[in-house]
Structure 1
């Protein structure tokens, strides 16, 4: 399976690319899309001022270009003259969050001159996350792979994506689907390139024995992280 490019925001399911995951993605462009009551939805606003509707509590939120959100459960997003995309993870129980707009440069070092920001972090290690990647002019990335798929929207600037199958020019508004373990690299010339990228998993984040509340609780000068005998062992069951 090779890299897939979408010139316009459209509806689609990742299953059509033979990924062994139940996730799906949807785009909206001047309309509204319904978000099912199962799982968690990660979204990004590309243009316009859509309304994010949260059926829990019948809450409405006006969004702006460059904003992003995480919504657990049923809702809707969209509106006239607005566009964006949503990735739904039907087996993941996330939290409700709205952020943005995205910053103009990353806070974290990436590779080959690029930087990144974690927009929606994993709640716990292994959970999905949403990121922004920033490439200044003159970047020629080291060719690489990822152990899981990536779904990307080009937000600003221009560049190109190279795979063993060829080179694809990138412009704002394009959607890029990169299958797991697919060789690729990004390149910029005189312009910068900003993309927002969804990861369905992670290998960083908090665990039950590594989080700020636990580690910064001191008992006679010793962190509770180093006192397993007082750590909570049984948790209230909740959907993950």
Structure 2
């Protein structure tokens, strides 16, 4: 008899430390935007700087994921998140389990695909342009040899039944909990007989941590930053922007 209730669900945040090269790139970018954006806001006001603010936050989020998202010539450089993710995936596969990997950036998934090919780790893939969605889902659900499914977060948030997976990895968090929950619910739903483990990868001392901090106070603003909603960003203050562009305290790791 099939239970009408989903099994246990465990969620955990994994903090990833940027290596020297990625940290230098991120810090250089952050300092550039801190210098140029805050000055522009002081001169012209936030109302006339929203496009530049959105661009800066997007670039910083990309830098927190992989240098190759900013410059294709850097796709071969290290990424803290991939260096954490790939061994985790290998462990999941060695245990005979299946996993879903979500990202908002299809370019990040493309870099991951190349890494998986090099590691000889078979996978299935789906984004907003995928036409044969059902065939790919069926392969993942039914083929024991296909144990990884890479999914664009926007494309895979709704309408997919992926209960063959027990593990979910969110490479770049979507700050709206409802969207993240929809992704995790692709496997954590009625029909799933095993516990589900979901992991959010956060780059330490980056804008990702700052948005999480901001989210506690201004949920709508945090959502707007990620969805690039210029209208909702009307609630952004100079203090919020200064927090997002602040450097970590060299001693305690807190923003300054």
Higher RCO, 1 vs 2 (CA within 8 Å, ≥6 residues apart): 2
Question: Which structure is higher in strand share?
Answer: 1
Question: Which structure is higher in helix share?
Answer: 2
- Work out whether the TM-score is over 0.5: no
TM-score bracket relative to the smaller structure: under 0.3
TM-score, normalised via structure 1 length: 0.28
TM-score, normalised via structure 2 length: 0.26
